[in-house]
Amino acid sequence: MEKINLKTEKQIVLKAQSGDRNALSSLVSLYENRIYHLALRMLGNEQDAEDILQETFMVMLNKIHQFEGNSSFYTWLYRIAVNLGLRLIKSRSPEKFNISLDDPDSEQIKNEVLSEWHEIDYEKIGHKHIRSKINSVLKELPGMYRTIFILRDLHGTSVKDTSKILNISESNTKIRLMRARNFLKEKLEKIVKEEDLL
Amino acid sequence: MKKINIKFFEVCKYLGEDIESEPCKLVKQHINECPDCSVYVDKIKKVVKLYRIVDNFDDIPADVDKKLFAKLNLSPKKE
């Protein structure tokens, strides 16, 4: 994804806040890919991703004058998108928390060596049905956990920024990320075996 | 081998934080010495790698981009 020079971004944001339409367009162009990708991964389908994309930038247009620069602009914008996404997830289906989101325990880790993943055949990941299976596991994670995984591991957002975006503490972010990764690992154990990915 | 509470994992990279940080050094040492923990961390790394491979950061579809700018009443402009 496109790297953004923070100084340049700050200047664009200031212009956008004074109503400069070109600057507003620039901000949309700078962030539309990231916001669309984030929404697509959070919601799991193109139509919802498009809706969240449009809503996020509508909010940006209407509220950019409220951005005070206390956090980075992308954190502010991501927070809008994430809140809209989580709200939509919640409205669609009350989340089922009957899945295991426990911390890894000594018993579980004691047996890891028996099922080591020596070398994964990453070329097989190109097969559509395998990608689909892997993606469907991500969808099983509750929205908040899924969002943390997407932000930290796919978008490379720092723990600090992820915490700000989600309005939770840094330690809470770390713990939820750990549980999300552990959940995905447990689910992928089965897929790795079924699809003979080793 | 030094006995360590596995909950200690909560503070570490691949489970949340930077493994070079001070609180993680003991854990890192333990991971290096413990085959089970070492395999566990390796799997977590591979999980992340798998999702990065599956994922793609292609540009948004052209029609989605077009509709977005129309909705916002803005002209597309690449900085």
pLDDT over 80 at A26, yes or no: yes
For residue A183, what pLDDT is reported?
Answer: 92
Phi, psi of A67 (to 5 degrees): -70, 120
User: With bands split at pLDDT 50, 70 and 90, how would you rate the model's confidence at A77?
Assistant: very high
Q: Is the dihedral of CA A20, A26, A30, A31 positive or negative?
A: positive
For A64-87, the three-class secondary structure string (H helix, E strand, C coil) is: HHHCCCCCCHHHHHHHHHHHHHHH
Residues of chain A contacting B42 with CB distance shorter than 8 Å: 116-117
Closest CA to A84 of A147, A139, A136: A147
Residues of chain A contacting B76 with CB distance shorter than 8 Å: 25, 29
Selected residue with higher pLDDT from B30 and A23? A23
B75 with A21: Cβ contact below 8 A: yes
CATH 1.10.1060.10 fits A106-194, yes or no: no
B43 with A111: Cβ contact below 8 A: no
For residue A143, what pLDDT is reported?
Answer: 92
pLDDT over 70 at A49, yes or no: yes
Domain hosting B24: range is 6-72
For residue A127, what pLDDT is reported?
Answer: 83
Residues of chain A contacting B79 with CB distance shorter than 8 Å: 8, 12, 26, 29-30
Count of domains in chain B? Answer: 1
Closest CA to B25 of B4, B48, B47, B46: B4
Closest residue in chain A to residue B56, using alpha carbons only:
A37
> Which range, of A20-24, A112-116, A151-155, A192-196, averages the lowest pLDDT?
A112-116
Per-residue pLDDT of chain B (79 residues; tens, 9 = 90+): 445 555 555 555 555 556 566 667 777 777 788 888 888 888 888 999 999 988 876 779 999 999 999 999 999 875 4
Residues 6+ apart with CB under 8 A from A102: A179, A182
Whether B79 is in a domain gets the answer no
Selected residue with higher pLDDT from A120 and A73? A73
B76 reaches A (C-beta below 8 A): yes
Phi, psi of B65 (to 5 degrees): -60, -45
Residues B72/A58, Cβ–Cβ less than 8 Å: yes
Chain A closest-CA separation from residue B3 CA (Å)? 11
Per-residue pLDDT tens digits for A116-142: 787 888 788 878 888 888 989 999 999
Mean pLDDT for A150-172 is 93
For chain B, the straight-line distance linking the first and the last C-alpha, in angstroms and rounded, comes to: 56
Mean pLDDT for A85-98 is 78
Q: E strands within chain B?
A: none
Which residue reads 């001070």 in tokens? B22
Mean pLDDT for A94-116 is 65
Q: Which two tokens stand for residue A85?
A: 């996404």
Closest CA to B15 of A184, A139, A39: A184
- Cα angle B20, B21, B23 (rounded to 5 degrees) comes to 120
CA distance A181 to B14: 8
Residues of chain A contacting B49 with CB distance shorter than 8 Å: 120, 122
Nearest by CB: A54 against B37, B51, B68: B68
For residue B79, what pLDDT is reported?
Answer: 46
From the options 3.40.50.300, 1.10.1740.10, 3.40.50.12280, 1.10.10.10, give the CATH code of A6-92: 1.10.1740.10
Q: Which two tokens stand for residue B69?
A: 């700018």
CA distance A60 to A28: 9
Mapped onto helix, strand or coil, the DSSP state of residue A1 is coil
Dihedral angle over CA of A81, A82, A88, A92, nearest 10: 150
For chain A, give every domain's residue range: 6-92, 106-194
Nearest by CB: A178 against B15, B35, B64: B15
Using alpha carbons only, how large is chain A's radius of gyration in Å?
19
Selected residue with higher pLDDT from A24 and A171? A24
